[in-house]
Structure 1
Amino acid sequence: MDTPLAYRMRPQRLSEIIGQSHLVAPGMIIDRMVTAKRLTSMILYGPPGIGKTSIANAIAGSTKYAFRSLNAVTNNKKDLEIVAAEARMSGHVILLLDEVHRLDKAKQDFLLPHLESGRIILIGATTSNPYIAINPAIRSRTQIFELKPLTAAEIVVALERALADTEKGLGMYQTEVSEAALEHFAYSSNGDVRGALNGLELAVISTPANEDDKVVVTIETAEVCLQRKSLAMDKDGDGHYDVLSALQKAIRGSDADAALHYLGRLIEAGDLFSISRRLLVMAYEDIGLANPQVGVHVLAAIQTAEKIGFPEARIPLANAVIELALAPKSNSAYLAIDAALSDIRKGVSGEIPDHLKDGHYRGAAKLGRAVDYKYPHAYPTTHFPGYWVKQQYLPNNIKKKHYYLPKRSGKFENALADMYELLEKHKK
């Protein structure tokens, strides 16, 4: 057969959909729409190969509405006009629009009145988060449904269904697939049923039959034939930012194993820039004053990784991630600067005290600039390991404001906290 197995096995009815039970199971939202024959336009989003096109196809098959499939990038406005003309003639057309987040303004403006009239029922498919990537005008006229990656058990069901189907699947072959091979297809596809099905097909059709005229697919065959999925994300998609977010939250939560897992996913995507940037941010946002040396260590690891490149770059990066995860944590500096910025942005500020203003110009003294400034180095003190003199530094209306709230997170910040509290006593 010329068409891939995944295409041939595409569900024709909603009841044939594997997975996505939160949407298509009896009583769930899409099932209710189909049963009531009250379809509304929708956006389906999630990683590739998890059933967006299959759901659209099954909705059309379950309702008997005409079904057309276009791509927001490669198809032009003329193609949309043909669909609109068909909708006027037949009453309703289901339009699957792939890469809907790439819809340009001209196509969008053409579509909007047809969506509002209900003649075109749009099913937009995208791997990008629609709340970020899709124009609000389209978004407001659709319901948004997130699809989840299929579990390994669900993918096994799809594989077994394909092996048994004599009409569209691989049932015409006398095939024996080992349990280990089936599990490899299911687990290694990373939730992508299309990749698993096409890998299985390649294994079956490329394996010579044995003396019993049977095709035997072993785990070794599966490992050779399953095209390795790069990763369920790309550098511009929201899945990429989900992994970065998970990495930071695992490190913040001191889970070194989870942090290494998410680091591995980013390494597999080959995104050294994003890894480097996020690790440096974490060194100062999450570890911060609890262990300032971590920032130095992370920078050294990143510079080493950049010099040696992948695959060896994984080693210094792993060192940095483990140290970050297991280091004591303090976000006091991060909270302090955000608190200061918050006041400034709300207009909580004030005039700089005259004694702090610049006095390095002729006439400054006449204006009272820097006249009463006390130079701390001229005031030796027994209270502190250095020089200090009591004077006001904040503007009058916020002179008692505190932004830095020390956390006793480790030896270094304990020392800072002691000094901060001692200074506060002497300011009073």
Structure 2
Amino acid sequence: MKNEPLAYRMRPKTIDDVISQDHLVGPKAIIRRMVNTKRLTSMIFYGPPGIGKTSIAQAIAGSTQYKFRQLNAVTNTKKDMQLVVEEAKMSGQVILLLDEIHRLDKAKQDFLLPHLESGKIVLIGATTSNPYHAINPAIRSRAQIFELYPLDKENIMEALNRALNDEENGLLSYAPKVDQEAIEYFADSSYGDVRSALNALELAVLSAEETHGVRHVTIEDAEVCMQKSAFQYDKDGDQHYDVMSAFQKSIRGSDVDAALHYLARLIEGGDLPAITRRLLVISFEDIGLASPGAASRTLSAIEASERLGFPEARIPLSQAVIELCLSPKSNSTVTSIDAALSDIRNGKAGLVPKHLKDGHYQGAKELGNAIGYKYPHNYENGYVEQQYLPDTLKNKKYYQPKTTSKAEQKFAEVYQNLKK
């Protein structure tokens, strides 16, 4: 039995063996051009775990025949890096894969920089964090940044079938029979993580019952070996913000099914405070005056979910999401205050009109006539026409009513009558 995991053994030897990532290693893509001309530059790979960052780095080394070394920015020391540099001086050039490069400290960074400049070290940094936010500009400026994407179902199935038919590094020597349903389950449940799928397949083959020299893997075996689907979620990573953005946009676009899908992903991530905060924002930002009661009902659902906790919290959260999706939409509260803020920030504040100064409520009624201020409660319907905005903005209209609901249509009618 081979000691290394299947995913390790099946790593591509050259870039021709790489599955997916055609935008980087396809026939006319940038990394293939680098490999074909042997003109490598330092680069940073970022994306979720298990999508091939290390594999592509090793494939580049295999295709160019350059020495390849792998270190971790946290656990390996500066002395480990010095050994790689010494090797580069003797061999001419070394590809250094540096995992968790976003956690590289300044001392190690300062040591590496001159060797990146000279080209002795071709650095390939690997990270799950957005390098534009997480990696020091000094490293970033000396490397090209490439985003890797999760593999789709077909890519995962290709990798699994490749492993089943590989005798030297794969599983062919065990003569396995793997049902198509099981293959599809591994592919579906890995969520683009080929490493997870391959290692689960290996466990299923090795532990399957052997009949007449054949190990038969069924869908039941696949479910046991994958256990819980390998859904990956990083509360602090880019994926969190991408899902949160899609969640709000789906509600804004009134797509209940999409919104519930992204809610489910957020629930699986387990970050209840982030979900509830975003729902409350949405109720004011995207529904707003079109359904003024939606915000208070959303707040009630949030309070209920916080008291219940998961898994029951999913129920009031689902109710709030469905209502917000199917409510009429209005962003007039956002556009109105943003327009007012824009004027303030652009120096258009102006002076407070004289008749509005000295304003304490208790004195307003008595002092009104003396300072030219008209006390609205002294007039019919509690309204009297007078100037409230500064002179420089006296004709300004910030509120632009939406007519997507009867509720805001009423507000709009009052607003227009007052402005007349």
Counterpart position of 2:312: 312
Whole-Å Cα distance in 1 between the matches of residues 229 and 195 of structure 2? Answer: 11
Task: Please state how far the C-alpha of 1:85 moved relative to its aligned partner.
Answer: 2.0
Task: Please state how far the C-alpha of 1:232 moved relative to its aligned partner.
Answer: 3.0
Residue type of the partner of 2:390?
A: P
Is contact 2:24–2:30 with CA below 8 Å preserved after alignment?
yes
Counterpart position of 1:383: none
Whole-Å Cα distance in 2 between the matches of residues 118 and 303 of structure 1? Answer: 58
Are positions 1:220 and 2:220 aligned together?
yes
Whole-Å Cα distance in 2 between the matches of residues 412 and 228 of structure 1? Answer: 46
* SS of equivalent residue, structure 2 residue 349: coil
Are positions 1:90 and 2:106 aligned together?
no
Task: Please state how far the C-alpha of 1:97 moved relative to its aligned partner.
Answer: 0.9
Are positions 1:412 and 2:407 aligned together?
yes
Q: What are the within-5 Å matches in structure 2 for residues 11-410 of structure 1?
A: 11-210=12-211, 212-360=212-360, 371-380=371-380, 386-410=381-405
Is contact 1:376–1:389 with CA below 8 Å preserved after alignment?
yes
In structure 2, list runs of 5 or more residues that go unmatched: none
Whole-Å Cα distance in 1 between the matches of residues 227 and 81 of structure 2? Answer: 35
Flag the 1:137–1:5 CA change in 2: closer, same or farther, 3 A: same
Task: Please state how far the C-alpha of 1:57 moved relative to its aligned partner.
Answer: 0.4
Task: Please state how far the C-alpha of 1:369 moved relative to its aligned partner.
Answer: 12
Identity %: 65
Deviations 1:39-72 (A, max 9, x none): 0111111111011000000001111111111111
Whole-Å Cα distance in 2 between the matches of residues 167 and 100 of structure 1? Answer: 33
Deviations 1:256-292 (A, max 9, x none): 0000000000111111111101100000000111001
Q: How many residues align?
A: 416
Is contact 2:190–2:230 with CA below 8 Å preserved after alignment?
no
Residue type of the partner of 1:38?
A: R
* SS of equivalent residue, structure 2 residue 83: helix
Residue type of the partner of 1:415?
A: K
Is contact 1:354–1:370 with CA below 8 Å preserved after alignment?
no
* SS of equivalent residue, structure 1 residue 241: helix
Residue type of the partner of 1:407?
A: K
Whole-Å Cα distance in 1 between the matches of residues 69 and 76 of structure 2? Answer: 12
Task: Please state how far the C-alpha of 1:89 moved relative to its aligned partner.
Answer: 2.2
Farther off after superposition, 282-291 or 84-93:
84-93
TM-score by length of 2: 0.96
Whole-Å Cα distance in 2 between the matches of residues 408 and 360 of structure 1? Answer: 37
Residue type of the partner of 1:235?
A: K
Farther off after superposition, 101-110 or 301-310:
101-110
Deviations 1:73-97 (A, max 9, x none): 2122222222222222222111111
Task: Please state how far the C-alpha of 1:231 moved relative to its aligned partner.
Answer: 2.8
* SS of equivalent residue, structure 1 residue 172: helix
Q: What RMSD in Å do the two structures reach over aligned CA positions?
A: 1.9
Whole-Å Cα distance in 2 between the matches of residues 370 and 197 of structure 1? Answer: 84
Whole-Å Cα distance in 1 between the matches of residues 323 and 74 of structure 2? Answer: 45
